[in-house]
Amino acid sequence: MNTPISHSPKLHPLLAQYALQLAVHPLRTKALTSATLSFLQEVIGSNAAGLPPTPTPKDASPLTKILARYHIDAKAIKMAIYGFFVSAPLGHYLVGLLQKAFTGKVGVKYRVAQLVASNFLVAPVQTTVFLASMAIINGAKSLDDVIRTVKGGFWAVIRVTWIVSPLSMVFAQQFVPTELWVPFFNMVQFTLGVSDSH
């Protein structure tokens, strides 16, 4: 799934480089982006929520204590791993399949059909995997714990997705250059994640 690049003279050089990397190395670029944003989402969300830091041993190094104070801890690392190895590849391939299904189809009915397919086929899979991953990261001890977490959170998460996804898609279609869709949707997801953290 390659991202088209337009040669807009107004595109900031860093965004142009990012768009080039998306075109040349789409999965790697998305994985690195997702890992970084997942890590930052956990750190910023934990700090914004005022959560107490993870306790450190008395003999821990000063660096370890500073990192723990700012929630740069094992959970943040696990979130980065989730972003790199789970979220990005899943999104890359599911959205790629969706885009292939609608390649060459133009018109309002195809845009609506793509949006419906995204919300009722792709989003439920991504939501289930997200909730299962969060259960594991948060210490689920059994498959029953994971299933309970997915069942308990599925409808709350999917409802937000069904509201935000169409709005952000319509906004992107109208105002965001195609080559910036990936960072735009990453930032939408990041913002939602930080605001909904903890």
The answer to whether residue 83 is domain-embedded is: yes
Which domain covers residue 61, as residue numbers?
23-196
The answer to whether residue 186 is domain-embedded is: yes
The answer to whether residue 3 is domain-embedded is: no
Place of tokens 């009915």: 109
The answer to whether residue 15 is domain-embedded is: no
The predicted-structure confidence for 81-136, as pLDDT tens digits, reads as follows 999 999 999 999 998 898 889 888 888 899 899 899 999 999 999 999 999 999 99
The answer to whether the beta carbons of residues 74 and 66 sit under 8 Å apart is: no
| Residue 54 amino acid letter | T
> pLDDT confidence of 2, banded at 50, 70, 90?
low
pTM: 0.88
The answer to whether residue 79 is domain-embedded is: yes
The answer to whether residue 70 is domain-embedded is: yes
The predicted-structure confidence for 32-83, as pLDDT tens digits, reads as follows 999 999 999 999 999 999 999 989 999 999 999 999 999 999 999 999 999 9
The reported pLDDT for the residue numbered 7 is 47
Residues 91 and 161: their CA atoms lie apart, in Å, by 14
The answer to whether residue 4 is domain-embedded is: no
Residues 128 and 196: their CA atoms lie apart, in Å, by 17
CB atoms within 10 A of CB 1: 14
The count of structural domains within the chain is: 1
Residues 146 and 152: their CA atoms lie apart, in Å, by 10
The answer to whether residue 102 is domain-embedded is: yes
